Amino acid sequence: MTFVNWLKRRLVVVAGLFTLAYLLLPNVIVTVFSFNDPKGRFNYEWQEFSTEAWRDPCGVSGLCGSLTLSLQIALWATLGATLLGTLIAFALVRYRFRARGAVNSLIFLPMAMPEVVMAASLLTLFLNMGARLGFWTILIAHIMFCLSFVVVAVKARVMSMDPRLEQAAQDLYAGPVQTFLRVTLPIAAPGIAAGALLAFALSFDDFIITNFNAGSTVTFPMFVWGSAQRGTPVQINVIGTAMFVVAVALVLVSMAVGNRRNRRKA
Partner 1 sequence: MTTVTEAPPLAPAPPEPEPPRRRGRWTPYLLLLPGLLWLLVFFALPVVYQASTSVQTGSLEEGYQVTWHVATYWEALSEYWPQFVRSVLYAASATVLCLLLGYPLAYLIAFRAGRWRNLIMILVIAPFFTSFLIRTLAWKTILADGGPVVGALDALHVLDVTAWLGWTAGDRVLATPLAVVCGLTYNFLPFMILPLYTSLERIDPRLHEAANDLYARPSTTFRKVTFPLSMPGVVSGTLLTFIPATGDYVNADLLGSTDTRMVGNVIQSQFLRVLDYPTAAALSFILMAAILIMVTLYIRKSGTEDLV
Of residues 191-230, those binding partner 1 (CB under 8 A): 201, 204-205, 207-208, 211-212, 220-221, 224-225, 228
Site string for partner 1, 241-260 (x = CB under 8 A): x-xx-xxx--xx--x-----
**Minimum distance from CB of 201 to partner 1 (Å)?**
6
Does residue 58 bind partner 1 (CB under 8 A)? no
Name every residue whose Cβ is closer than 8 Å to that of residue 188 and which is 6 or more positions away in sequence. Answer: 86, 90, 154, 157, 158, 161
- Contact status, residue 12 vs residue 23, Cβ threshold 8 Å: no
Does residue 234 bind partner 1 (CB under 8 A)? no
The piece of 54-62, 71-79, 120-128, 181-189 that touches partner 1 (CB under 8 A) is 120-128
**Minimum distance from CB of 41 to partner 1 (Å)?**
13
2/130 with CB nearer partner 1: 130
Site string for partner 1, 3-42 (x = CB under 8 A): --------xxx-xxxxxx-xxxxxx-xx--x---------
Looking at the DSSP bridge assignments, the partners of residue 49 are 36
Q: In 10 A of CB 48, how many CB atoms?
A: 9
Does residue 114 bind partner 1 (CB under 8 A)? yes
The piece of 49-57, 71-79, 95-103, 186-194 that touches partner 1 (CB under 8 A) is 95-103
- Contact status, residue 195 vs residue 149, Cβ threshold 8 Å: yes
**Minimum distance from CB of 172 to partner 1 (Å)?**
19
Q: How far apart are CA 153 and CA 236, in angstroms?
A: 32
Does residue 97 bind partner 1 (CB under 8 A)? yes
**Minimum distance from CB of 265 to partner 1 (Å)?**
18
Does residue 110 bind partner 1 (CB under 8 A)? yes
Does residue 168 bind partner 1 (CB under 8 A)? no
16/186 with CB nearer partner 1: 16
**Minimum distance from CB of 256 to partner 1 (Å)?**
11
The helix (run of H) or strand (run of E) holding residue 87 is helix 63-94
Q: Helix or strand or coil: residue 36?
A: strand
Residue 99: C-alpha distances to residues 86, 103, 158, 159 (Å): 19, 6, 20, 19
Q: How far is CA 183 from the centre of its chain?
A: 28
3-state helix, strand, coil in the chain (%, to 5): 80, 0, 20
